[in-house]
Amino acid sequence: MAGIIPDADDRLCLSRRPDHKHQGGLWEFPGGKVEPGEALDHALARELHEELGLDGVRSIPFLTVRHRYPDLAVTLHFREVTAYTGVAHGREGQPVEWVPRAELSARAFPEANRPVAVALRLPPEWVIPPEELDETAVVEGLARLDPASQGVYLRGWSGHPAVTAACRARGLRFWVRDDAGLARREGAFGLHLSGEGLARAQREGAPAFEGLLSVACHDAGQIDAARALGADMATLSPVRATPTHPEAAPLGWDGFDELVAGNPLVFYALGGVGPEDLATARAHGAYGVAGIRGLWPRG
């Protein structure tokens, strides 16, 4: 178990691992081992009391990471702490610091913690505007999205100035498809490589883009290619059968889980999923859900 613990200034609590332990000297999100038969929320509450002196800890699922080091396999259940009392301090002598979210990338984390540092910058819902709409309808739909919990993959709308301007005006984090130059000019939060874009990057090298790099994946080979490019996140699909790609065999949640295990990327589940599937997606290794019909505002 590990806790994502914010304070009133939206800083996050980190502790440093003892030098003599596995991955010693690195910073981590505080937590510890789950006892046999122990509920995950109870385990985190117990560990944060023992390690940091916090009481009344309440939490919700954030991300599950299954990672294999050369000498150890670990499953880490990260939970977002929503309430607690007390002042965090290292009860076992470990250094404890409160770190602004924007400075997390400067810290040295164990590899299994790194997807969490990326996910903390991301929305749990990744919305794809339908391509059959006209531009006016897309701009109107963007106005109904929540910038705090939803990001936008513009896909076929990437080159429409009115659409990108609407994202910026609304404060929506948005991704464009394949074109790093366009992403830089428009101030995109992310660049998303389609299958074609991924193949080109494998031939020519990773695109020159300083923002977040995302890749569309459907199998283990594409996940490996995304990692080789230094991608931060990936969509993995289809989880379920969809009318837009009826020929694609759905992964199912077990197949999704098997593919993401051990891969230090932030994954979004795509294909026949919606906001109601977020808890299930997180239980199977995803951070968020992505889609068109299940996420685009109706009416």
Which pairs from 203-210 meet CB under 8 Å and 24+ separation? 206/230, 207/180, 208/180, 209/180, 209/183, 209/184, 210/184
Ranges of each domain in the chain: 2-101, 125-291
- Per residue in 236-277, pLDDT (tens digit) is 999 998 777 667 789 999 999 999 988 889 999 999 999 999
Q: What would the pLDDT profile of 169-189 be if each residue is shown by its tens digit?
A: 999 999 999 999 999 999 999
The pTM score is 0.86
The torsion angle over the Cα atoms of residues 100, 106, 107 and 110, rounded to 10 degrees, is 120
CATH topology of domain 2-101: Nucleoside Triphosphate Pyrophosphohydrolase (3.90.79)
**Quick one: how many helices (H) and strands (E) in the chain?**
9, 14
pLDDT tens sequence across 28-78: 999 999 999 999 999 999 999 999 999 999 999 898 888 777 777 788 899
Confidence of residue 108 (pLDDT cuts 50, 70, 90): confident
- CATH number of 125-291: 3.40.50.300, 3.90.470.20, 3.20.20.70, 3.40.50.740? 3.20.20.70
Mean pLDDT of the chain: 92
